[in-house]
Structure 1
Amino acid sequence: MGGLSQGWERADRRTADEMIAEARKALFVMFGFMAAIWALQVVNWLSDYRLDMDFGVIPRDMDRLPGILVSPFLHFGWSHIEANSGPLFIFGFLAAYRGVVRFVWLTLLVAMTSGLAVWLFQGADTMSVGASGVIFGYFGYVVLRGLFDRRLVDALIGVVMAASFAYLVTVAVPGTPGVSWLAHLGGLVGGMIGAYLLRDGRGSAPVAGATPPTALDRRGTPPASPDPGRAELHKELRDLGLL
């Protein structure tokens, strides 16, 4: 049993170390992400917001369709980018700390679903820019990720975020005045889809030193293999310091 215990301890340390390394990487990525968005805002401001005019999403204008991947990183003014920066950093970090590559794919997905919702369904004679649709995408992803990945830590984070920011859903419903609720709703749906499509495909490969030798029970048959789901739950509880 000593070898089994030491094997699980090594697995727990490895899991915790990997999580810390990914969180550190996500922090640097988000600082760079925010710096790039603010740099674009400076360029936009210096050019009298010419970037908005050139890349803003205009519904059903074929020439503006590529703008759906650019418009989330542009803003109409300083108050606009200031309002988006805090939520973008928080939800972006929570979305990125399980893997930066996955985060990049998620960002592309929610930018597309948010932009397409505006391009297809928003009223004519409007133009949309801003990161709020991406923010809603990150929010939907963070809330559901733990359910699809079956990670206790992420599920708890999702519950806390859902309870703390439930009011966000109120500006993603039809008829919300003063905002592009279609961008919010499109991003939210994209984030929820992303939680499923980008779910963790972890295997059940044994950890070195963690598998005990085969033994026979009283009836002379090998004992049942440990439940991988229960073992994973135990590891998540250890990460939280509950075991």
Structure 2
Amino acid sequence: MREADAKPSLLSEAKTQATALFGFVALLWLVEIIDWVIFGGRLDRYGIRPRQLAGLWGILFAPFLHGNFEHLTANTLPLLVLGWLVMLRETGDWLVVTVLSALVGGLGTWLIGAANTSHIGASGILFGYFGFLLMRGYFERSLVAIAFSILVISLYGGIVWGVLPGQPGISWEGHLFGFIGGALAARLLARQ
């Protein structure tokens, strides 16, 4: 491939990545604005409600719901940074990691979450990105993948404490199972 041909495809890929990432985050913000302006925060009741049949719908809805704008703000930058790092090798990886993190994170939370709680937020996906980037280095054992693992642990290593119980109002279950979903995605997408 000639260098002139590579530049348009690289630019096209960057546009696709920016559209996907910023579109996803914009959707999260739009849902939160609509929730507060139109519904007065009542959409949050559609989160994951552990071991309740109706609470299974929360697996699909919870990543789009946030308790308030502070909650969403805390998730926004890490979603953009880690999401982009997931996309760097292949844009399609981002979709696989996002879906697996949301589904595994949601189902795990539904199975073991505390009774009479509702779990919301995109942090399970965020922890999925973290788990994917961290574990990809382990599964692939390439210098590039290991370098990304080291970069991610140095930038966001402190969030690993979020998978442990003990912080009131924080869904450690969603964080833990989101991380597991990301690790599973790393195993499925690993290049040997």
Scaled by the length of structure 1, the TM-score of the pair is: 0.70
**Across the two proteins, how many residue pairs are aligned to each other?**
191
Cα 1:27–1:153, aligned 2, differ >3 Å: closer, same or farther?
farther
2:182 counterpart of 1:191: yes
The one-letter code of the counterpart of 1:74 is L
SS in 1 for 2:130: helix
- Note if contact 2:131-2:182 (Cα within 8 Å) is conserved in structure 1: yes
**Which whole-Å CA distance do the structure 2 matches of 1:85 and 1:72 have between them?**
12
For residues 98-148 of structure 1, the C-alpha deviation after alignment (integer angstroms, 9 at most, x for no partner) is 233332122111001111121111111111100111100001111222443
**Which whole-Å CA distance do the structure 2 matches of 1:52 and 1:94 have between them?**
29
**Which whole-Å CA distance do the structure 2 matches of 1:146 and 1:21 have between them?**
27
The one-letter code of the counterpart of 1:48 is G
**Which whole-Å CA distance do the structure 2 matches of 1:145 and 1:79 have between them?**
31
Q: Could you say which residue in structure 2 is the equivalent of 1:41?
A: 32
The one-letter code of the counterpart of 1:87 is P
How far did residue 75 of structure 1 move? 0.4
Cα 1:15–1:181, aligned 2, differ >3 Å: closer, same or farther?
farther
How far did residue 153 of structure 1 move? 2.8
**Which whole-Å CA distance do the structure 2 matches of 1:150 and 1:23 have between them?**
26
- Note if contact 1:133-1:184 (Cα within 8 Å) is conserved in structure 2: yes
| Alignment partner of 1:27 out of 18, 28, 46 | 18
Q: Could you say which residue in structure 2 is the equivalent of 1:118?
A: 109
Q: Could you say which residue in structure 1 is the equivalent of 2:78?
A: 87
Q: Greater CA radius of gyration, 1 or 2?
A: 1
SS in 2 for 1:140: helix
Q: Could you say which residue in structure 1 is the equivalent of 2:54?
A: 63
Cα 1:100–1:69, aligned 2, differ >3 Å: closer, same or farther?
farther
**Which whole-Å CA distance do the structure 2 matches of 1:20 and 1:153 have between them?**
22
How far did residue 23 of structure 1 move? 4.0
The one-letter code of the counterpart of 2:97 is L
Q: Which runs of 4+ in 1 moved over 6 A?
A: 11-20
Percent of aligned positions that are identical: 36
Superposed CA RMSD in Å reads: 2.5
Structure 1: runs of 5+ lacking an equivalent: 1-9, 202-243
Q: Could you say which residue in structure 2 is the equivalent of 1:52?
A: 44
**Which whole-Å CA distance do the structure 1 matches of 2:3 and 2:156 have between them?**
31
How far did residue 174 of structure 1 move? 2.9
Scaled by the length of structure 2, the TM-score of the pair is: 0.87
The one-letter code of the counterpart of 2:96 is W
Structure 2: runs of 5+ lacking an equivalent: none
**Which whole-Å CA distance do the structure 2 matches of 1:23 and 1:150 have between them?**
26
